[in-house]
Amino acid sequence: MKPFTYQRVRSPAEAVAAFGRNKNAKFIAGGTNLLDLMKLQIEAPSHLIDVNGLALDKIEMTPDGGLRIGALVRNTDLAAHPRVRRDYAVLARALLAGASGQLRNRATTAGNLLQRTRCPYFYDTNQPCNKRQPGSGCAAIGGFSRQLAVIGSSQACIATHPSDMAVALRVLDAVVETVKTGGVTRQINIRDFYRLPGDTPHIETNLADGELITAVVLPRPVEGKHGYRKVRDRASYAFALVSVASIISRDGSGKVALGGVAHMPWRNETAEAQLPKGAKAVAENLLSDAKPTEHNAFKITLAERALASAISEAKG
Amino acid sequence: MKFDAPATNNPIDQLKVVGKPLDRVDGPLKVTGTAAYAHDRYDSIPNQAYGYVLGSAIAKGKIKPMNVSAAKAAAGVLGVVTAENAGKLGKGDYNTAKLLGGPEVDHYHQAIAIVVAETFEQARAAAQLIQVEYTKADGSYDLHAAMATAIRPEKIFGGEADSSAGDFDKGFAAAPIKFDATYETPDQAHAMMEPHATIAAWHGDTLTLWTSNQMIDWSTGDIAKTLGIPKEKVRLSSPFIGGGFGGKLWIRADALMAALGARATGRPVKVALARPFMFNNTVHRPATVQRIRIGATQQGKITAIGHESWSGDLPGGGPEVAVMQTRLLYAGENRMTAMRLAVLDLPEANAMRAPGEAPGMMALEIAMDEMAEKLGLDPVEFRIMNDTQVDPENPSRPFSMRTFAECFKTGAEKFGWNNRNAKPATRRDGRWLLGMGVAAAFRNNLLMKSAARVRLDSRGTVTVETDMTDIGTGSYTIIAQTAAEMMGVTLDKVAVRLGDSTLPVSAGSGGQWGGACSTAGVYAACVKLREEVARALGLNHPDATFVDGELRVGNRRIPLAQAAAKKELVGEDQIEYSDVDKKYQQSTFGSHFVEVGVDAATGEVRIRRMLAVCSAGRILNPKTARSQVIGAMTMGVGAALMEELAVDKRAGFFVNHDLASYEVPVHADIPHQEVIFLDEVDPLATPMKAKGVGELGICGVAAAVANAIYNATGVRVRNYPITLDKYIKGLPEVA
C-alpha cells in the first residue's frame, strides 16, 4: 500500500471538486473491494475521497412508480427493503447471492457496480495484466481461465465482471444517475454503463474521470416472475460460474441476463425474444459469438441449462 | 516408562474424567478472543518492529543483485535482509527448499528479502521499493509431463517406495474379474485460518520465537540448524495454533525471516505471512496420479490388488505416500504398490491433513466402488468380504485390533443404506437427483515418544508441563482429563502448560499421533508423581488409590495437598514403546456414508447427510473427538467438491492464491454430520488404550461423496475435485 491522503466530503459537489484538485484520486464508500486492492498494490490512489457522508443512503419512490436507490444504500438494506422484495425480487435475490453478510453490510450500491474483476491474474502483480497495467499483456489467456469470460472478450482481456447486483439491474433496465465536475448531472442506462474490454480493458465503465454515481433508478415494476439463479462451486460466498437473472411472464416471454460470462452483464433483446421457444433458442442466440477457452467451455452448456431451469421454475 | 506389554487395568479405566464429553478447558479463552496467538502476543516483549517478507516473482532462475537502497531509505525502515547480508545459513531437516532464496530461486514466492520497519504499513510499502531483476530458467511444472522421468524415491516417510506380496502380475492376469483405472488428485493447500506468524527476539546469542507451530522440538532443532547456532540457544513458544493441518509441522519463512530481521536491526521483529503469500511460499499437498488394479473371483474375493502413485516435488523432496493404505486395507494374496517421484519446480510439497491416506483413499475407495459395481455386489458387502485380521503383506503380523466390518455394519444400519438403489440416476426429489455413497476410512496409528512433567503444589493443584501443542484439537483438555484421572482430582484442579521448548519433549501434533501419545506421556509422568506423593506421605502401598483429592489406603485418607505442603512434588517421565507396533499393525478404521442431491439442471451438489463410524480405541473425550472428526469430514467435502490449487504450467505457480479463489467449504455446504465411535479399547496401543482419531475422519470421505455423486448421476468422475463441469454433459435433459 502506498501512502495516500484522505478527506471526507459532505456533498456530491464537494466530492467532484475534490477529485478535480487531486491527481490519481479515488472515491471510497464501503471500501470492501478498494481496500483489498490497495493492500495488494493493485490500486494505488494517492488521495481518497470518503463519500460516506453524502447522505445518498435513501430509497425513494419516483413519480412514475419506480424506485430511486441512493448510491450509498448498503447492499443489506437494499435487499431487505420491502418494495425491493415485493416488486424487484430479482434484485433482492441477486444481492443476497453475493458476498457475505458482513460484506453486504458495508458494500454500497454504487460500489457494487464499480467492483473490479476477480480474475486471479489481475490479483497477482507479478503477472502481466492489461487491466492492471495497460500494455503489459494478459496472463489469463492461455492460463487458468475456468472462471473467466466466454463472450465479449478480446485479445487483451478475458476478465468477467463479478457483480450479481449488476446482472439483476440489467434485466430491470435500471438507470445510473451521476454528477460530474461543474455539477453536470446525467443519466446512463445500465445497458450503456459497462464497456467490453476491447484493447482498453482498464476502462470498465463509461463514467468520465471523477464522475460520481449518486443513485440508481429502477423503472416501475414489470409483470413476471423474478428469479436469480447463481451457479457456483460452493453453496455460498463464491463468484458465479454462471448466473441467470430473469423476469418471465406467464406467456413465457420475459427478460434474461447472464452473469459470469462476460466483462459486463450479458443480455441481448433479440435472444430474449426467443424465450417462449425455450432455453436452447435463447442461449444459442445469446451466446452465438462465444469464444470460450478449454477451461470454461462448460459455461456454454451450463448457461443454457441454468436458463432452462430458470424458465421451468418461472412456469412451475 | 516403557510400554512393552498390553495395558492391563490402570487408573484411567475408572473413566471418571477421561472418556467424558467435557467442554474444552481453553474454550473460554478462544470464544472471548483472549487466547494469545503468535501475532497477538504484544505482551511477550516490548518494542516490537514489523517485518514484511518479499517473495520471488518467478518460479525458477536467478536474482541479479537487488537494489534495496530505496527501501532502506523509506520512512520508518530499520533494515533490509536478503541472502546477500543474511550471513551463512544452513537448511533444516524438515524443509526441502531453502526458506530464504537468492541468488538462486527455487519456487514462486520463495522469500527473497525482509524489510523491517516501525509499522507494518511502512514495511509493506518499503518492500515494494526493492528492485529485483531476474534471469528466468526453465522449470518443470506439469506432473503429467514429468511422470515419464519420475524415479523410485529412496526417502519415504513410513516405509519403502515399493512393496509386493505373492505375484501381482500373474494374479491379476488370472483373475476372472479385473478392474484397472487411473485417478487424479490435485494440489491442495492447508488454507488454515491463522497464517504463519512469528515474533523473534535476540537476547545476546539466544533467540526466542513466539510462533505458531505443531512440532516444537523438530522446529527448535531446525531453526538452530538453519541459523547455525546450538539448539539450546533457541526457545520456541507456541501455546495456541490457529489451524496447522500439517503446514506448521516445521518452521517456515516467517520464523527464519523474523529471526534474521531481528538480528539485523537489534529489535524484536513480528512477521505474519500475507494471505496471498501462503499458497506459494509455504508447503502444499502435491497432486497425484494413481493407477489402481483389482482382480477378483466371480464371487468378489480379491485375489490381486495393485496401486501405483506418481507425484512431484522439488529436488530432494519426497512423494505423497498415497499407496500406504493399500498395503493394509484389503485381503488378497497377490499385491503390489509403488510410488514414483518426479521433479517439479512448484512450491515445496509436504504433509497436509492425513498425508498419504487422504489422497490415497480418494482413489482407492472409488476403485472399490467401481469394482463392487462390476461384480454386482453391494459396496458395503464387497468391503466386508475382503476384510483381513492380519497385515496382508505379512500375514504373521496381526492387527492390534480391527473392527473394520463392524464400522460398516453399524453405519449401514444407522444410515439406512438399504434405501440406496444400486442402479445410478434412479432416485429423485424434485429438481434434485439423489445418490448415496460409502467408503472406508483408514489411517495408521503411529507411536511417538512423549514426555511430560507433572507438579503438585501445596494447594493441591496439579500442573502438567509438556511441549505438546494444541492445534485446535483439544490437547489441553484431554491432557487435563488424563492428569485429573490419574491424580484423583477434579478438572478444575489441573493446569496445563503446553507448546514451549523449555518443557519436556512430547510427541507433538501431527499424523493423528498427538492425542494418544501425549496423554500416554502424561500418564507416565503421573505414575511417577503418584509414587512421589505416596513416598512423601509414607503410604507406599500397592492398594493406594487416588480419589476425590485424597490418597486412600484402607481407612486412611490423606488430602493430596498435604503431600506437597512443604515442598512441591514433581513427577517426570516419558512414554516409549518396545516393538509393539512391529509385532502388531496398529491402525484406525471407519466407514463414511454420504447422501447427496445433485441439481438435475446445473449439476450443483448439496450434501444432505453424512455419517462417520470410527474405530480408534478408547475415545478420550467424545466431544473434542467428534469436533475433530466432523472437521475432518468437512475437509473431505472440500477435497471432493472444490479444493484445487490451479497450476499455471507456463509460469510455474499456484494461481488461485487467496481464500476467495481457493475454495474450502462454507457452512452452507455442510449438512448435519453424525459421528459414531465404536465403544472399544486397544490395550496394545498405549496405557491410555486410545489411538489417533483426528485424521481418520478425513480419509475416505471424498470418495464417499464421489460415489454418491455417481449414484445420483450415473456419471463417474475420476479426477478431483468433482466439479460440475466434469459431469454436466451427462446429466438428463432439462424439462
- Per-chain mean pLDDT for chain B: 97
Pairs of residues, one from chain A and one from chain B, whose beta carbons lie less than 8 Å apart: 104
- Residues 6 or more apart in contact with residue B68 via CB below 8 angstroms: B80, B82, B113, B130, B131
Among A37, A144, A232, which would you mutate to test the B interface (most chain B Cβ atoms within 10 Å of its Cβ)?
A144
Flag if A302 and B728 touch (Cβ within 8 Å): yes
CA angle B528, B531, B535 (to 5 degrees): 145
Q: What is the mean pLDDT of residues A295-300?
A: 98
Among A234, A236, A293, which would you mutate to test the B interface (most chain B Cβ atoms within 10 Å of its Cβ)?
A234
Contacts of A40 in chain B (CB under 8 A): 276
Alpha helices in B566-719 (DSSP H): 580-583, 622-641, 701-713
Of B307, B281, B464, nearest in space to B371 by CA: B307
Contacts of B276 in chain A (CB under 8 A): 40, 123-124
Contacts of B431 in chain A (CB under 8 A): 309
Contacts of A309 in chain B (CB under 8 A): 431, 599, 601-602, 734
Q: What is the pLDDT of residue B159?
A: 85
Q: pLDDT at residue B642 above 90?
A: yes
pLDDT, tens digit (0-9, with 9 covering 90-100), for B153-180: 987 877 899 999 999 999 999 999 999 9
Contacts of A4 in chain B (CB under 8 A): none
Flag if B669 and A234 touch (Cβ within 8 Å): yes
pLDDT, tens digit (0-9, with 9 covering 90-100), for B109-163: 999 999 999 999 999 999 999 999 999 999 999 999 999 999 999 878 778 999 9
How close is the nearest chain A Cα to the Cα of B727, in Å?
10
Q: What is the pLDDT of residue B93?
A: 95
Q: What is the mean pLDDT of residues B366-393?
A: 98
Distance in angstroms (rounded) separating the CA atoms of residues B709 and B728? 12
pLDDT, tens digit (0-9, with 9 covering 90-100), for B602-615: 999 999 999 999 99
Do B356-445+586-730 and B2-35+447-580 have the same topology in CATH? yes
Of B707, B710, B713, B606, nearest in space to B665 by CA: B606
Q: Is residue B695 flagged as an active site residue?
A: yes
Q: Report the chain A residue with the minimal C-alpha distance to residue B606.
A: A235
pLDDT, tens digit (0-9, with 9 covering 90-100), for A56-76: 999 999 999 999 999 999 999
Assess A136–B contact: CB distance below 8 Å, yes or no.
Answer: no
Amino acid at A67: L
pLDDT, tens digit (0-9, with 9 covering 90-100), for B422-473: 999 999 999 999 999 999 999 999 999 999 999 999 999 999 999 999 999 9
Q: What is the pLDDT of residue B543?
A: 85
Assess A241–B contact: CB distance below 8 Å, yes or no.
Answer: yes
Instruction: Give the architecture (CATH level 2) of B356-445+586-730.
Output: 2-Layer Sandwich (3.30)
pLDDT, tens digit (0-9, with 9 covering 90-100), for B212-226: 999 999 999 999 999
Each domain of chain B, given as residue ranges in start order, spans 2-35+447-580, 356-445+586-730
Contacts of B57 in chain A (CB under 8 A): 126
Among A42, A102, A233, A294, which would you mutate to test the B interface (most chain B Cβ atoms within 10 Å of its Cβ)?
A233
CA angle B656, B362, B515 (to 5 degrees): 90
Reduce the DSSP state of residue B349 to 3 states and report it: strand
Q: Report the chain A residue with the minimal C-alpha distance to residue B57.
A: A126
Assess B448–A contact: CB distance below 8 Å, yes or no.
Answer: no
pLDDT, tens digit (0-9, with 9 covering 90-100), for B580-639: 888 999 999 999 999 999 999 999 999 999 999 999 999 999 999 999 999 999 999 999
Flag if B648 and A144 touch (Cβ within 8 Å): yes
Distance in angstroms (rounded) separating the CA atoms of residues B53 and B125? 11
Q: pLDDT at residue B352 above 80?
A: yes
Cell of A171: 434485466
Q: How confident is the model at residue B645 (pLDDT cuts 50, 70, 90)?
A: very high
Flag if B660 and A309 touch (Cβ within 8 Å): no
Distance in angstroms (rounded) separating the CA atoms of residues A305 and A290? 16
Q: What is the pLDDT of residue B539?
A: 87
pLDDT, tens digit (0-9, with 9 covering 90-100), for A205-242: 999 999 999 999 999 999 999 999 999 999 999 999 99
Could you say which of B431, B668, B723 has the minimum Cβ distance to residue A236? Answer: B668
Among B641, B642, B648, which would you mutate to test the A interface (most chain A Cβ atoms within 10 Å of its Cβ)?
B648
Burial of A294 (0-12, 13-18, 19+ CB in 10 A): exposed
Q: Report the chain B residue with the minimal C-alpha distance to residue A298.
A: B725
Contacts of A143 in chain B (CB under 8 A): 648, 650-651, 655
Q: What is the mean pLDDT of residues B71-95?
A: 97
Q: What is the pLDDT of residue A177?
A: 98
pLDDT, tens digit (0-9, with 9 covering 90-100), for B281-332: 999 999 999 999 999 999 999 999 999 999 999 999 999 999 999 999 999 9
Q: pLDDT at residue B40 above 80?
A: yes
Assess B680–A contact: CB distance below 8 Å, yes or no.
Answer: no
Flag if A302 and B125 touch (Cβ within 8 Å): no
CB B526 within 8 A of CB B1: no
Q: Which of B121, B320, B695, B733 is catalytic?
A: B695
Cell of B673: 454430520
Q: How confident is the model at residue B347 (pLDDT cuts 50, 70, 90)?
A: very high
Can you spell out the DSSP letters for B66-107?
PB-HHHHHSTTEEEEEETTTS------SS-SS-SS--SEE-S
Q: Report the chain A residue with the minimal C-alpha distance to residue B652.
A: A143
CA torsion A263-A283-A97-A189 (nearest 10°) is 50
Our measurement of the distance from residue A264's CA atom to the centroid of its chain's CA atoms, rounded to an integer in Å, reads 7
Flag if B648 and A143 touch (Cβ within 8 Å): yes
CB B680 within 8 A of CB B618: yes
Strand pairing category for B302-313 and B334-343: parallel
CB B314 within 8 A of CB B97: yes
Assess B124–A contact: CB distance below 8 Å, yes or no.
Answer: yes
Q: What is the mean pLDDT of residues B551-570?
A: 95
Flag if B125 and A233 touch (Cβ within 8 Å): no
- Looking up cell 454418491, which residue turns up? B708
In what helix (H) or strand (E) does residue B197 lie, and over which residues does it extend?
strand B197-203
CB A243 within 8 A of CB A229: yes
Burial of A198 (0-12, 13-18, 19+ CB in 10 A): middle
Could you say which of B75, B124, B276 has the minimum Cβ distance to residue A1? Answer: B124
How close is the nearest chain B Cα to the Cα of A147, in Å?
10
Q: What is the pLDDT of residue A1?
A: 77
Contacts of A312 in chain B (CB under 8 A): 601, 734-735
Contacts of B669 in chain A (CB under 8 A): 234-236
Flag if A236 and B723 touch (Cβ within 8 Å): no
pLDDT, tens digit (0-9, with 9 covering 90-100), for A150-205: 999 999 999 999 999 999 999 999 999 999 988 999 999 999 999 999 999 999 99
Q: What is the pLDDT of residue A187?
A: 98
Assess B658–A contact: CB distance below 8 Å, yes or no.
Answer: yes
Q: Report the chain A residue with the minimal C-alpha distance to residue B55.
A: A126
Among A126, A136, A147, which would you mutate to test the B interface (most chain B Cβ atoms within 10 Å of its Cβ)?
A126
Domain B2-35+447-580 class, CATH top level: alpha beta
How close is the nearest chain A Cα to the Cα of B150, in Å?
25
Q: How confident is the model at residue B542 (pLDDT cuts 50, 70, 90)?
A: confident
Handedness of CA B689, B691, B697, B700 (dihedral sign): negative
Could you say which of B57, B650, B663 has the minimum Cβ distance to residue A126? Answer: B57
Contacts of A238 in chain B (CB under 8 A): 663
Assess B648–A contact: CB distance below 8 Å, yes or no.
Answer: yes
- Residues 6 or more apart in contact with residue A149 via CB below 8 angstroms: A158, A159, A160, A261, A262, A263, A296
Q: pLDDT at residue B687 above 90?
A: yes
Q: What is the pLDDT of residue B154?
A: 87
Phi, psi of A146 (to 5 degrees): -55, -40
Q: How confident is the model at residue B45 (pLDDT cuts 50, 70, 90)?
A: very high
Q: What is the mean pLDDT of residues B49-66?
A: 97
pLDDT, tens digit (0-9, with 9 covering 90-100), for B390-419: 999 999 999 999 999 999 999 999 999 999
Assess A137–B contact: CB distance below 8 Å, yes or no.
Answer: no
Flag if A309 and B734 touch (Cβ within 8 Å): yes
Q: Report the chain A residue with the minimal C-alpha distance to residue B129.
A: A2
- Looking up cell 500418564, which residue turns up? B523
